[in-house]
Amino acid sequence: MREPSSTGATDLVVAFSFTPYVDTAAVVAAKRVREEGRAVDVVQNDMAPSRAQDPDLGRIADDLVRRRTVLPTPTWFSSWKAVRAFADAGLEQVLRWDAEGPGYERLYSRAHWVPSHVLAARVKAHRPHVRWVAEFSDPLSVHADGRERHAPVEEGPLLDELAANLREAGVGPPGDNLFLWAETLPYALADELLFTNTNQRDLMLSRISDAGLAARAAARAVVRPHPTLPPAYYDLAGPPVDLDPGRAHIGYFGNFYANRGLGTVLDALAALPAAQRAQVQLHVHTEQGEKLVTAVAARGLEPQVSVRPFVGYLDFLALCRRMDVLLLTDATTKGAFARNPFLPSKWSDYRGSGRPVWGVVEEGSPLSAQALDHRSPVKHTTAAVQVLAQIVREAGRPSGQRSERPSV
């Protein structure tokens, strides 16, 4: 980790998860810092042993970090104890920095993870003049399948303080659910609420039962997709990769969930005529390789599908540039939400690579509204077969009629 400067900044970042920890929330928060291009002080949590470290992630924004504290508080996703520990230790550090440095003018926090917004709310209450931008990556109080997400809060000084802050703002405390608190505090106190897509914004605002609070949140809501790093970041690494020039290479980077997987794509690959199938190579980098290997073997696709572990973030960006096509799949949310509220963060990385992107999309989803080069509906094998055939045809064009993979 790069050693921060001893001179403080006027911008404060409160991100429970921040680089160099290998975590989507950490990477997006660092990319926000890079996007703004302003010097910052950072308050983050020690994510070990829940998350590994990748020193290369520091190249995203460490040059903009002036002071940094990594708090040794518990790394638990839905624990009031973890929230309280981070909020107490973090506030003590922030107030000390604020007194010693030039004084804070701007504050950014991002959740997931929820302790970020709780600490940021305390900072805002102590320094009301600071402009607070609170970002939501996904809805906090609802699961991906539409079920309510709940974790209990605990009576005590912290809860009393937060409740008093809300009442002073004219908002009643939201009950005993930690995740509702982590939404309500920014709704009531933040100067700007940052959402990654309109579906997410509309869903979250529609769940606010207090009409006055809903109006306040709507007036401060801003939609801004996940940041995309400048092109130079895609050339910082040179991972070794052997690509058969006679095949079309499709890259997929990420894990799988009950509502997001590669089954349709694998079925389509198996249904592709043998001559075309031989011209395709699907490269999958995932932590769940064992399950995928079984699914690939069951379809007899071993020659067409390479399953490998995750790579470092900069290697991932470089590998994106080597693929003919990058594959991205929507979560399927039909029956859980009126409109899919999830925009995969990988889209921001893929679009920066300059390579064509194939989206397997749910109708009306945020991903379906993007400028995709190829698209097919979720759970629609025939459409996926057609996309694969098109990719093979385009890969077979003479060099003057197709885009070439840039060298790394």
CATH code for the domain in which residue 185 is found: 3.40.50.2000
**pLDDT number for residue 260:** 80
| pTM of the model as a whole | 0.92
The answer to whether residue 148 is domain-embedded is yes
In contact, 117 and 111? CB cutoff 8 Å: yes
Whether 261 and 397 map to the same domain: the answer is yes
- As a whole number of angstroms, the distance between CA 167 and CA 172 comes to 6
**pLDDT number for residue 398:** 45
* Helix, strand, coil percentages for the chain (3-state, nearest 5): 40, 20, 40
Of 192, 223, 254, which closes a domain? 223
SS3 124: helix
Q: Going edge to edge, which strands form the sheet with 65-71?
A: 65-71, 40-45, 11-14, 106-111, 131-136, 192-195, 221-223
In contact, 132 and 120? CB cutoff 8 Å: yes
**pLDDT number for residue 289:** 82
The answer to whether residue 129 is domain-embedded is yes
Whether 206 and 329 map to the same domain: the answer is no
Q: Going edge to edge, which strands form the sheet with 248-253?
A: 305-308, 280-285, 248-253, 325-329, 357-361, 374-377
Residue 38: how many CB atoms within 10 A of its CB? 14
Range of the domain at 135: 11-223
Say which residues have a Cβ less than 8 Å from residue 328's Cβ, sequence separation at least 6.
Answer: 252, 344, 346, 347, 350, 357, 358, 359, 360, 367
Of 223, 255, 275, which closes a domain? 223
Paired with 109 in beta bridges are: 14, 134
305-308 vs 280-285, strand pairing mode: parallel
Whether 187 and 290 map to the same domain: the answer is no
Whether 218 and 236 map to the same domain: the answer is no
The answer to whether residue 247 is domain-embedded is yes
Of 181, 196, 223, which closes a domain? 223
DSSP assignment, residue 400?
Answer: G
Whether 237 and 219 map to the same domain: the answer is no
The answer to whether residue 5 is domain-embedded is no
The answer to whether residue 142 is domain-embedded is yes
Please name which of 229, 227, 175, 174 lies closest in space to residue 196, comparing C-alpha atoms.
Answer: 227
Query: Count of domains in the chain?
Result: 2
The answer to whether residue 2 is domain-embedded is no
The answer to whether residue 3 is domain-embedded is no
Whether 218 and 308 map to the same domain: the answer is no
The mean pLDDT values, 10 residues at a time, for the chain of 408 residues are 66 98 96 98 95 96 98 93 97 97 96 95 98 94 93 97 98 97 98 97 97 98 97 94 93 84 95 96 91 93 95 96 97 94 96 97 97 97 98 71 39
Length of the chain: 408
Whether 94 and 208 map to the same domain: the answer is yes
Say which residues have a Cβ less than 8 Å from residue 389's Cβ, sequence separation at least 6.
Answer: 272, 276
**pLDDT number for residue 404:** 43
The answer to whether residue 302 is domain-embedded is yes
Whether 189 and 274 map to the same domain: the answer is no
Tell me the backbone φ, ψ of residue 260, rounded to 5 degrees.
-150, 115
